[in-house]
Structure 1
Amino acid sequence: MADTPTAPVVVIGLGRFGTALAVELDRRGTEVLAIDGNPAVVQKLAGRLPHVVTADSTDAEALHQLDITAFHRAVVAIGTDIQASILTTALLSDLGIRDIWAKAVNAQHAGILSRVGAHHVVFPENDMGERVAHLLSGRILDYVEVDADFAVIKTTPPRDVVGVPLRESRLRSRWGVTVVAVKPQAPAPGAPRGFTYATPDTVLAYGDIVLVVGAIDKVERFAETD
Protein backbone atom coordinates (compact mmCIF):
# COMPACT_ATOMS: atom_id res chain seq x y z
CA MET A 1 0.00 0.00 0.00
CA ALA A 2 1.32 3.46 -0.87
CA ASP A 3 2.62 5.50 2.02
CA THR A 4 0.66 8.69 1.34
CA PRO A 5 -1.28 11.11 3.59
CA THR A 6 -4.42 9.03 2.84
CA ALA A 7 -2.74 5.63 3.21
CA PRO A 8 -4.82 3.08 5.17
CA VAL A 9 -4.50 3.02 8.94
CA VAL A 10 -5.00 0.18 11.39
CA VAL A 11 -6.49 1.24 14.74
CA ILE A 12 -6.13 -1.29 17.55
CA GLY A 13 -8.27 -0.81 20.66
CA LEU A 14 -11.76 0.59 20.32
CA GLY A 15 -12.38 2.41 23.54
CA ARG A 16 -13.54 6.03 23.41
CA PHE A 17 -10.29 7.32 21.95
CA GLY A 18 -9.79 4.53 19.41
CA THR A 19 -13.42 4.58 18.30
CA ALA A 20 -13.48 8.36 17.86
CA LEU A 21 -10.22 8.20 15.91
CA ALA A 22 -11.34 5.36 13.64
CA VAL A 23 -14.72 6.94 12.92
CA GLU A 24 -13.19 10.33 12.15
CA LEU A 25 -10.54 8.84 9.87
CA ASP A 26 -13.26 6.95 8.00
CA ARG A 27 -15.36 10.11 7.74
CA ARG A 28 -12.39 11.89 6.19
CA GLY A 29 -12.00 9.22 3.54
CA THR A 30 -9.10 7.24 5.02
CA GLU A 31 -9.42 3.47 4.82
CA VAL A 32 -9.40 2.07 8.36
CA LEU A 33 -9.03 -1.43 9.73
CA ALA A 34 -10.36 -1.30 13.29
CA ILE A 35 -9.48 -4.09 15.71
CA ASP A 36 -10.64 -4.94 19.22
CA GLY A 37 -10.50 -8.07 21.33
CA ASN A 38 -14.08 -7.68 22.59
CA PRO A 39 -16.69 -9.13 20.17
CA ALA A 40 -19.44 -7.01 21.71
CA VAL A 41 -17.50 -3.81 20.96
CA VAL A 42 -16.87 -4.93 17.39
CA GLN A 43 -20.51 -5.84 16.85
CA LYS A 44 -21.61 -2.46 18.16
CA LEU A 45 -19.35 -0.66 15.67
CA ALA A 46 -20.12 -2.89 12.68
CA GLY A 47 -22.66 -0.41 11.37
CA ARG A 48 -20.35 2.60 11.76
CA LEU A 49 -17.08 1.26 10.36
CA PRO A 50 -16.74 -0.74 7.14
CA HIS A 51 -13.75 -2.79 8.34
CA VAL A 52 -13.92 -3.76 12.03
CA VAL A 53 -12.81 -7.16 13.33
CA THR A 54 -12.34 -9.09 16.54
CA ALA A 55 -8.76 -10.20 17.13
CA ASP A 56 -6.15 -10.59 19.85
CA SER A 57 -3.55 -7.97 18.97
CA THR A 58 -1.02 -9.61 21.28
CA ASP A 59 -1.06 -12.73 19.06
CA ALA A 60 1.48 -12.44 16.25
CA GLU A 61 -0.31 -15.10 14.20
CA ALA A 62 -3.60 -13.18 14.42
CA LEU A 63 -1.89 -10.05 13.14
CA HIS A 64 -0.35 -12.00 10.25
CA GLN A 65 -3.77 -13.38 9.32
CA LEU A 66 -5.10 -9.82 9.15
CA ASP A 67 -2.22 -8.90 6.80
CA ILE A 68 -1.11 -6.13 9.14
CA THR A 69 2.20 -5.82 7.29
CA ALA A 70 0.27 -4.28 4.38
CA PHE A 71 -0.26 -1.21 6.57
CA HIS A 72 2.44 1.40 7.03
CA ARG A 73 0.60 3.29 9.80
CA ALA A 74 -0.89 1.90 12.98
CA VAL A 75 -2.42 3.35 16.14
CA VAL A 76 -2.34 1.36 19.37
CA ALA A 77 -5.27 2.92 21.23
CA ILE A 78 -5.40 0.32 24.01
CA GLY A 79 -5.81 2.21 27.26
CA THR A 80 -6.39 0.24 30.46
CA ASP A 81 -4.51 -2.97 29.60
CA ILE A 82 -0.95 -1.64 29.69
CA GLN A 83 0.60 -5.05 29.12
CA ALA A 84 -1.46 -5.58 25.95
CA SER A 85 -0.60 -2.07 24.79
CA ILE A 86 3.13 -2.68 25.16
CA LEU A 87 3.09 -6.15 23.61
CA THR A 88 0.98 -5.00 20.66
CA THR A 89 3.33 -2.10 20.01
CA ALA A 90 6.35 -4.40 20.16
CA LEU A 91 4.74 -6.86 17.72
CA LEU A 92 3.92 -4.08 15.26
CA SER A 93 7.52 -2.89 15.46
CA ASP A 94 8.80 -6.44 14.88
CA LEU A 95 6.52 -6.69 11.84
CA GLY A 96 8.14 -3.59 10.37
CA ILE A 97 5.25 -1.12 10.62
CA ARG A 98 6.93 2.16 9.74
CA ASP A 99 4.73 4.64 11.61
CA ILE A 100 3.38 3.50 14.98
CA TRP A 101 1.30 5.78 17.20
CA ALA A 102 0.52 4.60 20.73
CA LYS A 103 -1.69 5.90 23.51
CA ALA A 104 -0.05 6.16 26.94
CA VAL A 105 -1.70 6.53 30.33
CA ASN A 106 1.36 7.82 32.20
CA ALA A 107 5.01 8.79 31.70
CA GLN A 108 6.36 5.33 32.59
CA HIS A 109 4.01 3.70 30.07
CA ALA A 110 5.09 6.24 27.45
CA GLY A 111 8.76 5.49 28.04
CA ILE A 112 8.25 1.78 27.58
CA LEU A 113 6.17 2.29 24.43
CA SER A 114 8.96 4.36 22.92
CA ARG A 115 11.56 1.75 23.80
CA VAL A 116 9.61 -1.12 22.23
CA GLY A 117 9.03 0.69 18.94
CA ALA A 118 6.38 3.44 19.11
CA HIS A 119 7.35 6.39 16.92
CA HIS A 120 4.76 8.74 18.46
CA VAL A 121 3.26 8.57 21.95
CA VAL A 122 0.12 10.52 22.79
CA PHE A 123 -1.69 11.35 26.02
CA PRO A 124 -5.27 12.11 24.85
CA GLU A 125 -6.77 12.85 28.27
CA ASN A 126 -3.78 14.86 29.46
CA ASP A 127 -3.55 16.85 26.21
CA MET A 128 -7.26 17.67 26.28
CA GLY A 129 -7.02 18.70 29.94
CA GLU A 130 -4.22 21.14 29.15
CA ARG A 131 -6.15 22.57 26.20
CA VAL A 132 -9.32 23.12 28.24
CA ALA A 133 -7.28 24.74 31.02
CA HIS A 134 -5.94 27.25 28.52
CA LEU A 135 -9.44 27.94 27.18
CA LEU A 136 -10.76 28.56 30.68
CA SER A 137 -8.15 31.15 31.51
CA GLY A 138 -7.49 34.61 30.12
CA ARG A 139 -8.62 35.65 26.63
CA ILE A 140 -7.54 32.48 24.83
CA LEU A 141 -10.39 31.33 22.57
CA ASP A 142 -8.57 28.33 21.12
CA TYR A 143 -5.21 26.70 21.70
CA VAL A 144 -3.15 24.22 19.69
CA GLU A 145 0.25 23.02 20.88
CA VAL A 146 2.32 22.25 17.78
CA ASP A 147 5.55 21.27 19.53
CA ALA A 148 6.87 20.77 23.04
CA ASP A 149 7.26 24.51 23.57
CA PHE A 150 5.41 26.14 20.64
CA ALA A 151 1.72 26.92 20.18
CA VAL A 152 -0.87 28.70 18.07
CA ILE A 153 -3.62 30.54 19.92
CA LYS A 154 -6.79 32.34 18.93
CA THR A 155 -7.40 35.42 21.05
CA THR A 156 -8.30 39.11 21.02
CA PRO A 157 -5.58 41.78 20.87
CA PRO A 158 -4.51 43.73 23.97
CA ARG A 159 -5.06 47.48 23.94
CA ASP A 160 -1.38 48.24 23.28
CA VAL A 161 -1.55 46.82 19.75
CA VAL A 162 -4.95 48.22 18.79
CA GLY A 163 -5.13 51.09 16.35
CA VAL A 164 -1.55 50.95 15.04
CA PRO A 165 -0.03 49.00 12.14
CA LEU A 166 1.53 45.72 13.25
CA ARG A 167 4.92 46.96 12.06
CA GLU A 168 4.73 49.61 14.80
CA SER A 169 3.39 47.37 17.55
CA ARG A 170 6.78 45.79 18.40
CA LEU A 171 5.18 42.39 18.93
CA ARG A 172 8.44 40.52 18.49
CA SER A 173 10.51 42.69 20.83
CA ARG A 174 7.83 43.09 23.53
CA TRP A 175 6.16 39.67 23.58
CA GLY A 176 8.20 37.47 21.24
CA VAL A 177 5.12 36.46 19.22
CA THR A 178 3.79 36.91 15.70
CA VAL A 179 0.24 37.66 14.55
CA VAL A 180 -0.29 35.55 11.43
CA ALA A 181 -3.99 36.12 10.71
CA VAL A 182 -6.87 38.35 11.74
CA LYS A 183 -10.65 38.14 11.62
CA PRO A 184 -12.12 41.65 11.91
CA GLN A 185 -15.08 42.10 14.21
CA ALA A 186 -16.52 44.64 11.78
CA PRO A 187 -15.05 44.05 8.28
CA ALA A 188 -15.17 46.89 5.79
CA PRO A 189 -17.84 46.70 3.06
CA GLY A 190 -16.80 44.10 0.52
CA ALA A 191 -13.94 42.79 2.68
CA PRO A 192 -13.70 39.10 3.64
CA ARG A 193 -15.63 38.20 6.79
CA GLY A 194 -13.32 35.38 7.83
CA PHE A 195 -9.62 35.19 8.62
CA THR A 196 -7.09 36.87 6.34
CA TYR A 197 -3.31 36.87 6.54
CA ALA A 198 -1.87 39.65 8.65
CA THR A 199 0.67 42.00 7.06
CA PRO A 200 2.96 44.67 8.55
CA ASP A 201 0.30 47.22 7.56
CA THR A 202 -2.57 45.43 9.29
CA VAL A 203 -4.28 47.58 11.95
CA LEU A 204 -6.10 45.68 14.67
CA ALA A 205 -9.31 46.88 16.33
CA TYR A 206 -11.02 46.01 19.60
CA GLY A 207 -13.01 42.82 19.17
CA ASP A 208 -10.89 41.47 16.32
CA ILE A 209 -9.87 37.83 16.54
CA VAL A 210 -6.20 37.08 15.89
CA LEU A 211 -4.12 33.94 15.42
CA VAL A 212 -0.84 34.27 17.28
CA VAL A 213 2.16 31.92 17.16
CA GLY A 214 5.15 31.67 19.45
CA ALA A 215 6.67 29.89 22.42
CA ILE A 216 3.97 28.70 24.82
CA ASP A 217 4.98 30.98 27.69
CA LYS A 218 5.11 33.97 25.36
CA VAL A 219 1.72 33.46 23.70
CA GLU A 220 0.19 32.92 27.14
CA ARG A 221 1.70 36.17 28.39
CA PHE A 222 0.42 37.98 25.28
CA ALA A 223 -3.12 36.63 25.85
CA GLU A 224 -3.05 37.72 29.49
CA THR A 225 -2.07 41.31 28.66
CA ASP A 226 -4.89 43.84 29.05
Structure 2
Amino acid sequence: MPKRLATVLVVGLGRFGGAAALELNRLGHQVHAIEKDPAVAAEFTGRLRRVVVADGSRPAALDEVKAGNCDHAIVGIGFSVEASVLAVANLADAGIPTIWAKAMSPEHGRILSRIGAHRVIHPEAETGSRVAHLVGGRMLDYIEFDDGFAIVKMSPPQETIGFTLAQSDIRRKYGVTVVGVKSAGRDFVHAQPDTKVAGHDTLIVSGPTVLIERFAARP
Protein backbone atom coordinates (compact mmCIF):
# COMPACT_ATOMS: atom_id res chain seq x y z
CA MET A 1 0.00 0.00 0.00
CA PRO A 2 1.51 3.39 -0.94
CA LYS A 3 2.38 5.78 1.86
CA ARG A 4 -0.35 8.35 2.50
CA LEU A 5 0.74 11.85 1.66
CA ALA A 6 0.22 14.43 4.37
CA THR A 7 -1.18 17.92 4.59
CA VAL A 8 1.41 20.14 6.23
CA LEU A 9 1.20 23.73 7.43
CA VAL A 10 4.44 25.71 7.55
CA VAL A 11 4.38 28.92 9.60
CA GLY A 12 7.27 31.17 8.61
CA LEU A 13 9.12 30.81 5.31
CA GLY A 14 12.60 31.84 6.37
CA ARG A 15 15.62 29.67 5.60
CA PHE A 16 14.46 26.84 7.87
CA GLY A 17 10.74 26.93 7.14
CA GLY A 18 11.21 27.66 3.45
CA ALA A 19 13.60 24.77 2.92
CA ALA A 20 11.26 22.39 4.77
CA ALA A 21 8.24 23.59 2.76
CA LEU A 22 9.93 23.14 -0.62
CA GLU A 23 11.27 19.70 0.22
CA LEU A 24 7.89 18.54 1.53
CA ASN A 25 6.31 19.82 -1.66
CA ARG A 26 8.91 17.98 -3.74
CA LEU A 27 8.00 14.79 -1.89
CA GLY A 28 4.39 15.24 -2.94
CA HIS A 29 2.83 16.44 0.30
CA GLN A 30 0.19 19.17 0.30
CA VAL A 31 1.95 22.18 1.77
CA HIS A 32 0.16 25.29 3.02
CA ALA A 33 2.18 28.18 4.36
CA ILE A 34 1.72 31.37 6.34
CA GLU A 35 4.31 34.14 5.93
CA LYS A 36 4.14 37.64 7.39
CA ASP A 37 6.50 39.30 4.88
CA PRO A 38 4.74 39.84 1.51
CA ALA A 39 8.03 39.81 -0.39
CA VAL A 40 9.06 36.45 1.07
CA ALA A 41 5.59 35.03 0.52
CA ALA A 42 5.73 36.08 -3.13
CA GLU A 43 8.85 33.96 -3.64
CA PHE A 44 6.87 30.83 -2.71
CA THR A 45 3.59 31.63 -4.42
CA GLY A 46 2.98 29.03 -7.12
CA ARG A 47 5.58 26.72 -5.63
CA LEU A 48 3.41 25.52 -2.74
CA ARG A 49 -0.24 24.54 -2.65
CA ARG A 50 -1.19 27.75 -0.85
CA VAL A 51 0.66 30.72 0.63
CA VAL A 52 -1.17 33.18 2.87
CA VAL A 53 0.31 36.56 3.78
CA ALA A 54 -0.53 36.89 7.46
CA ASP A 55 0.86 36.90 10.98
CA GLY A 56 1.17 33.23 11.84
CA SER A 57 0.98 33.94 15.55
CA ARG A 58 -2.63 35.08 15.26
CA PRO A 59 -5.54 32.60 15.42
CA ALA A 60 -7.28 34.32 12.47
CA ALA A 61 -4.39 33.33 10.18
CA LEU A 62 -4.69 29.69 11.25
CA ASP A 63 -8.44 29.80 10.68
CA GLU A 64 -7.87 31.12 7.16
CA VAL A 65 -5.81 28.09 6.16
CA LYS A 66 -8.03 25.68 8.13
CA ALA A 67 -5.07 24.63 10.27
CA GLY A 68 -7.16 22.11 12.17
CA ASN A 69 -7.40 19.96 9.04
CA CYS A 70 -3.61 19.60 8.73
CA ASP A 71 -1.73 16.47 9.73
CA HIS A 72 1.44 18.28 10.72
CA ALA A 73 2.64 21.82 11.36
CA ILE A 74 6.14 23.28 11.24
CA VAL A 75 6.83 26.58 12.99
CA GLY A 76 9.91 28.23 11.51
CA ILE A 77 9.44 31.71 12.97
CA GLY A 78 12.83 33.14 13.85
CA PHE A 79 12.26 36.86 14.33
CA SER A 80 10.40 36.71 17.64
CA VAL A 81 10.26 34.25 20.52
CA GLU A 82 6.85 35.62 21.45
CA ALA A 83 5.46 35.06 17.95
CA SER A 84 6.90 31.54 17.88
CA VAL A 85 5.36 30.66 21.25
CA LEU A 86 1.97 32.09 20.28
CA ALA A 87 1.99 30.19 16.98
CA VAL A 88 2.74 26.87 18.70
CA ALA A 89 0.12 27.50 21.39
CA ASN A 90 -2.53 28.31 18.78
CA LEU A 91 -1.62 25.26 16.69
CA ALA A 92 -1.90 23.08 19.78
CA ASP A 93 -5.31 24.57 20.47
CA ALA A 94 -6.29 23.76 16.89
CA GLY A 95 -5.60 20.10 17.60
CA ILE A 96 -2.89 19.48 14.99
CA PRO A 97 -1.53 15.97 15.66
CA THR A 98 2.15 16.76 15.24
CA ILE A 99 3.84 20.13 15.72
CA TRP A 100 7.49 20.72 14.88
CA ALA A 101 9.03 24.01 15.98
CA LYS A 102 12.32 25.81 15.56
CA ALA A 103 13.92 27.05 18.79
CA MET A 104 16.44 29.85 19.04
CA SER A 105 17.78 28.83 22.47
CA PRO A 106 17.48 25.97 24.97
CA GLU A 107 15.11 28.09 27.08
CA HIS A 108 12.94 28.81 24.05
CA GLY A 109 12.89 25.10 23.25
CA ARG A 110 11.72 24.16 26.75
CA ILE A 111 8.86 26.62 26.52
CA LEU A 112 7.81 25.29 23.11
CA SER A 113 7.77 21.73 24.45
CA ARG A 114 5.65 22.70 27.44
CA ILE A 115 3.00 24.46 25.39
CA GLY A 116 2.47 21.76 22.79
CA ALA A 117 5.39 21.29 20.37
CA HIS A 118 5.98 17.57 19.84
CA ARG A 119 9.42 18.00 18.27
CA VAL A 120 11.72 20.96 18.90
CA ILE A 121 14.52 21.63 16.44
CA HIS A 122 17.68 23.59 17.30
CA PRO A 123 19.06 24.10 13.78
CA GLU A 124 22.07 26.23 14.64
CA ALA A 125 23.22 24.04 17.53
CA GLU A 126 22.56 20.80 15.68
CA THR A 127 24.32 22.01 12.55
CA GLY A 128 27.29 23.25 14.57
CA SER A 129 27.66 19.91 16.33
CA ARG A 130 27.39 18.05 13.05
CA VAL A 131 30.00 20.23 11.34
CA ALA A 132 32.39 19.73 14.25
CA HIS A 133 32.38 15.99 13.54
CA LEU A 134 32.98 16.51 9.83
CA VAL A 135 35.79 19.07 9.90
CA GLY A 136 39.23 17.62 9.44
CA GLY A 137 38.22 13.96 9.48
CA ARG A 138 37.18 11.19 7.13
CA MET A 139 33.47 11.54 7.97
CA LEU A 140 31.42 12.80 5.04
CA ASP A 141 28.11 12.98 6.89
CA TYR A 142 27.05 12.42 10.48
CA ILE A 143 23.73 11.80 12.24
CA GLU A 144 23.64 11.35 16.01
CA PHE A 145 20.64 10.08 17.96
CA ASP A 146 19.65 10.95 21.53
CA ASP A 147 20.82 7.65 22.96
CA GLY A 148 24.48 8.06 22.01
CA PHE A 149 24.13 6.15 18.73
CA ALA A 150 25.29 7.50 15.37
CA ILE A 151 25.22 6.67 11.67
CA VAL A 152 27.95 8.13 9.50
CA LYS A 153 29.04 8.22 5.90
CA MET A 154 32.82 8.03 5.70
CA SER A 155 35.78 7.16 3.56
CA PRO A 156 37.39 3.81 4.46
CA PRO A 157 40.38 3.59 6.82
CA GLN A 158 43.53 2.32 5.14
CA GLU A 159 43.42 -1.00 7.00
CA THR A 160 40.11 -1.93 5.32
CA ILE A 161 41.11 -1.18 1.73
CA GLY A 162 41.58 -4.25 -0.43
CA PHE A 163 40.00 -6.56 2.13
CA THR A 164 36.53 -8.00 2.59
CA LEU A 165 34.55 -6.95 5.67
CA ALA A 166 35.02 -10.43 7.10
CA GLN A 167 38.78 -10.10 6.72
CA SER A 168 38.86 -6.63 8.27
CA ASP A 169 36.72 -7.84 11.18
CA ILE A 170 35.65 -4.27 11.94
CA ARG A 171 32.80 -5.13 14.26
CA ARG A 172 34.96 -7.22 16.59
CA LYS A 173 37.88 -4.77 16.56
CA TYR A 174 36.00 -1.49 16.87
CA GLY A 175 32.45 -2.30 17.99
CA VAL A 176 30.82 -0.65 14.96
CA THR A 177 28.96 -2.11 12.00
CA VAL A 178 29.42 -1.37 8.32
CA VAL A 179 25.85 -1.47 7.02
CA GLY A 180 26.51 -0.47 3.43
CA VAL A 181 29.12 0.33 0.80
CA LYS A 182 28.81 2.78 -2.08
CA SER A 183 31.26 2.64 -4.96
CA ALA A 184 31.56 5.50 -7.44
CA GLY A 185 29.21 4.97 -10.38
CA ARG A 186 27.55 1.95 -8.79
CA ASP A 187 24.41 1.43 -6.71
CA PHE A 188 24.51 1.29 -2.93
CA VAL A 189 24.81 -2.27 -1.64
CA HIS A 190 24.06 -3.66 1.80
CA ALA A 191 27.23 -4.88 3.41
CA GLN A 192 27.94 -8.60 3.41
CA PRO A 193 30.91 -10.49 4.90
CA ASP A 194 32.36 -10.94 1.39
CA THR A 195 31.95 -7.26 0.43
CA LYS A 196 35.38 -5.99 -0.61
CA VAL A 197 36.32 -2.40 0.17
CA ALA A 198 38.16 -0.21 -2.34
CA GLY A 199 39.94 3.04 -1.61
CA HIS A 200 37.38 5.19 -3.44
CA ASP A 201 34.40 3.55 -1.71
CA THR A 202 32.13 5.25 0.81
CA LEU A 203 31.15 3.31 3.94
CA ILE A 204 27.90 3.66 5.88
CA VAL A 205 28.75 2.81 9.47
CA SER A 206 26.56 2.62 12.59
CA GLY A 207 27.35 2.22 16.25
CA PRO A 208 27.88 4.01 19.58
CA THR A 209 29.05 7.59 19.03
CA VAL A 210 32.32 7.17 20.93
CA LEU A 211 33.24 4.04 18.99
CA ILE A 212 32.25 5.60 15.66
CA GLU A 213 34.56 8.55 16.36
CA ARG A 214 37.38 6.18 17.30
CA PHE A 215 36.94 4.17 14.11
CA ALA A 216 36.72 7.29 11.94
CA ALA A 217 39.99 8.53 13.43
CA ARG A 218 41.90 5.53 12.06
CA PRO A 219 44.44 6.50 9.38
Q: Distance in 1 between matches of 2:215 and 2:160?
A: 11
Matches within 5 A, 1:126-165: 126-165=125-164
SS of the equivalent of 1:90 reads helix
C-alpha spacing 1:169/1:93, structure 2 compared with 1 (3 Å): same
Q: What is the CA distance between 1:147 and its match in structure 2?
A: 4.3
**Are 2:103 and 2:109, in contact at CA under 8 Å, matched by a contact in 1?**
yes
Which residue in 1 is equivalent to 2:64? 65
In structure 1, stretches of 5+ residues that fail to align are 186-191
Q: What is the CA distance between 1:98 and its match in structure 2?
A: 0.7
Q: What is the CA distance between 1:6 and its match in structure 2?
A: 1.8
Q: Percent identity?
A: 47
For each residue in 1:117-151, what CA deviation from the matched residue of structure 2 results, as whole angstroms up to 9, or x when unmatched? Answer: 10001112222222233222211122233445222
Is 2:4 the counterpart of 1:11?
Answer: no
Which residue in 1 is equivalent to 2:192? 199
Count, aligned residues: 217
Q: What is the CA distance between 1:29 and its match in structure 2?
A: 1.5
Which of 203, 212, 215 is 1:210 aligned to?
203
SS of the equivalent of 1:131 reads helix
SS of the equivalent of 1:32 reads strand
Q: What is the CA distance between 1:215 and its match in structure 2?
A: 1.8
AA at the equivalent of 1:58: S
Q: What is the CA distance between 1:153 and its match in structure 2?
A: 1.2
Matches within 5 A, 1:34-49: 34-49=33-48
Q: Distance in 2 between matches of 1:207 and 1:27?
A: 31
In structure 2, stretches of 5+ residues that fail to align are none
Which residue in 2 is equivalent to 1:225? 218
TM-score normalised according to structure 1 size: 0.86
Q: Distance in 2 between matches of 1:147 and 1:6?
A: 27
For each residue in 1:65-112, what CA deviation from the matched residue of structure 2 results, as whole angstroms up to 9, or x when unmatched? Answer: 321100020001001200110111011112111100000111111111
RMSD of the alignment, in Å? 2.0
AA at the equivalent of 2:207: G
For each residue in 1:28-68, what CA deviation from the matched residue of structure 2 results, as whole angstroms up to 9, or x when unmatched? Answer: 22111010122332233324334100122222233223211
Is 2:71 the counterpart of 1:105?
Answer: no
Which residue in 1 is equivalent to 2:115? 116
For each residue in 1:149-185, what CA deviation from the matched residue of structure 2 results, as whole angstroms up to 9, or x when unmatched? Answer: 2222121222333444323433223221100111346
Q: Distance in 2 between matches of 1:98 and 1:125?
A: 26
Q: Which moved more, 1:63-72 or 1:107-116?
A: 63-72
Matches within 5 A, 1:185-196: 193-196=186-189
SS of the equivalent of 2:139 reads coil
